[in-house]
Amino acid sequence: MDRSDPNFKSLSNECRETVKKDHEEFSKDRLLQAAQNKKSMKKVTRDIQEYKTFIPCLQSSTSGQRITSQTEMEQEFQQSYGDGQALGF
């Protein structure tokens, strides 16, 4: 991604917001599963916090495989959101 592009900042903000929403849904699902399976809520909450500070991987929208490389994640974001259509630009 070219950081000198004027749309880069708005695109980055949209990506951050999308990831934040996805993380919130992930947290809700994880906590609900823990409650249904009668697991330790304290332990699950701690595990969720680890995912908040760092995104360990990203699932590819085309192949469904996990992407762990930071550069490959950026390329996936660019393919998914690069034209701005998916984000409503």
What is the pLDDT, as a whole number, of residue 2? Answer: 65
- CA distances, 40 to each of 15, 24, 43 (Å): 32, 19, 5
Please say whether the beta carbons of 74 and 1 come within 8 A. yes
Q: Which two tokens stand for residue 11?
A: 């695109």
Calculate mean pLDDT across residues 46-65. 76
* Three-class SS state of 66: strand
By CB atoms closer than 10 A (0-12, 13-18, 19+), residue 12 is middle
Q: Quick check: pTM over 0.75?
A: no
Sorted by where each begins, the domain ranges of the chain are 8-81
Is residue 87 over pLDDT 50? no
User: Per-residue pLDDT tens for 19-30?
Assistant: 888 888 888 999
Please say whether the beta carbons of 81 and 19 come within 8 A. no
Residues 6+ apart with CB under 8 A from 77: 1, 15
